Amino acid sequence: MRSKASFRGHPNHPALIPFPLAFLIGAFLFDLVGVVFNRPALWTTGAYLTVVGVISGVVAAIPGIIDFLYTVPPNSSGKARALKHASAMVSALILFTVAKWLRGDVTTEPGLPVLVLEAIGAGSLTVGGWLGGVLVSRNQVSIDHRYAGAGKWKEENVDKPASGQPVVVAIDGLEANQMKLVHVAGKRLVVARTDKGWAAFDDHCTHKGGSLADGVMICGTVQCPWHGSQFDVVTGGVKSGPARESIKAYRAEPSGDQLKVWL
Ligand code: FES
């Protein structure tokens, strides 16, 4: 049994993150200035900003969880970074929620504990926001950076074959210099069509775990999107670093509109 699965490149999370960042850091600044200059209107605004900021943070977290589970490749530097990013953002939401609970009514002047919690929360948001920026720019999460001729993103789940039997992947519609990501019982595999035939290899760059299916492939060479390592898709050998270790390549034979891959 096979099924298509494609949550990759979900664009909503980075697009939604500016809202909690702006509202919650704004809440802290309004509260601080309101207390320093004794302006109730400012700290009341801060209280409302806290409520809106926490709600927008929860909304932004939903596509964030989807990105974490389905877009960021497993066992990679990006996954570790995404975990730190999520921890920082969730901590900030908890801190601002507790701060709001402590202050009670929106018109109540925030005391020192509230301001301290909000200050730590704003710091946490800053660190989490910076990590999120690195995830977008370096790990290219949620950026559609497909190369010319790559075709639409292709992804498929296939069942694990019986012992000794090949994995069977549909390859209809896959043209020369195009790749497809395949999930086989938790393993990520790339099947690729080159000018000279077919190839199959692990979707895991040996440098820091970038997804090769998300990279660029041309003339039998695949380039990792994160730091540019290049590998021969048939032998798995390194053509250019920073990676030093080969990727694992597999025997792949076409059969009609299917590709048989021996893992
Ligand atoms: S993860 Fe660094 S080159 Fe692939």
Question: What are the residues facing 2 on neighbouring strands?
Answer: 158
45 pLDDT higher than 90: yes
Q: Give 259 Cα–ligand 1 centroid separation in angstroms.
A: 27
Minimum-distance ligand 1 atom for the alpha carbon of 243? 3
Q: Give 90 Cα–ligand 1 centroid separation in angstroms.
A: 28
- In tens, the pLDDT along 216-248 reads 999 999 999 999 999 999 999 999 989 999 999
Q: Give 134 Cα–ligand 1 centroid separation in angstroms.
A: 14
Residues of the chain with pLDDT > 90, as a percent, come to 66
d(CA 210, CA 224) in angstroms, rounded, equals 6
Pocket of ligand 1 (CB under 6 A): 205, 207-210, 224, 226-229, 242-243
Minimum-distance ligand 1 atom for the alpha carbon of 227? 3
d(CA 108, CA 154) in angstroms, rounded, equals 54
- In tens, the pLDDT along 153-192 reads 888 888 888 888 899 998 888 899 999 999 998 899 999 9
Q: Are strands 187-193 and 178-184 parallel, antiparallel or unpaired?
A: antiparallel
Q: Structural domain boundaries of the chain?
A: 8-137, 155-262
List CB contacts of 195: < 8 A, sequence separation 6 or more.
176, 177, 219, 220
Best CA proximity match to 210, nearest among 80, 76, 66: 76
Residue nearest to atom 3 of ligand 1 (CA): 227
Token pair 């949550």 is found at 7
Choose one of 205, 216, 238, 246 to mutate for the ligand 1 pocket test, by most ligand atoms within 8 angstroms of C-beta: 205
CB atoms within 10 A of CB 65: 11
- For residue 169, the one-letter residue type is V
d(CA 157, CA 27) in angstroms, rounded, equals 45
Tokens for 83, please give them: 């975990």
d(CA 122, CA 23) in angstroms, rounded, equals 10
Q: Give 208 Cα–ligand 1 centroid separation in angstroms.
A: 5
Task: Return mean pLDDT, the chain.
Answer: 90
Minimum-distance ligand 1 atom for the alpha carbon of 212? 4
**pTM across the whole model:** 0.81
- For residue 158, the one-letter residue type is V
For the domain covering 155-262, report its CATH number. Answer: 2.102.10.10
